[in-house]
Chain A
Amino acid sequence: GQNIDQPTEMTATEGAIVQINCTYQTSGFNGLFWYQQHAGEAPTFLSYNVLDGLEEKGRFSSFLSRSKGYSYLLLKELQMKDSASYLCAVNGGDYKLSFGAGTTVTVRA
Chain B
Amino acid sequence: IAGITQAPTSQILAAGRRMTLRCTQDMRHNAMYWYRQDLGLGLRLIHYSNTAGTTGKGEVPDGYSVSRANTDDFPLTLASAVPSQTSVYFCASSDGTSGANEQFFGPGTRLTVL
Q: A-side interface residues toward B, CB under 8 Å? A: 30-31, 33, 41-45, 48, 50, 87, 89, 91, 94-102
Contact assessment for B40 and A101 in the assembled complex, using a CB-CB cutoff below 8 Å: yes
- B42 partner, pick from A94, A95, A102, beta carbons under 8 A: A102
Total interface residues on B, CB under 8 Å, equals 26
Contact assessment for B108 and A42 in the assembled complex, using a CB-CB cutoff below 8 Å: yes
Chain A nearest CB from B109 CB (Å) reads: 11
Q: B-side interface residues toward A, CB under 8 Å? A: 31, 33, 35, 40-45, 48, 50, 58-59, 90, 94, 96, 99-108
The docked-state distance in angstroms from the alpha carbon of A98 to that of B33 is: 12
Q: Which residues of A contact B102 (CB under 8 A)?
A: 33, 45, 48
Q: A94-B50, A98-B59, A101-B42 are in contact. List 6 more A-B contacts (CB 8 A).
A: A30-B101, A87-B43, A95-B31, A95-B50, A95-B96, A98-B45
Known contacts A42-B108, A44-B105; A50 and B99 CB within 8 A of each other: yes
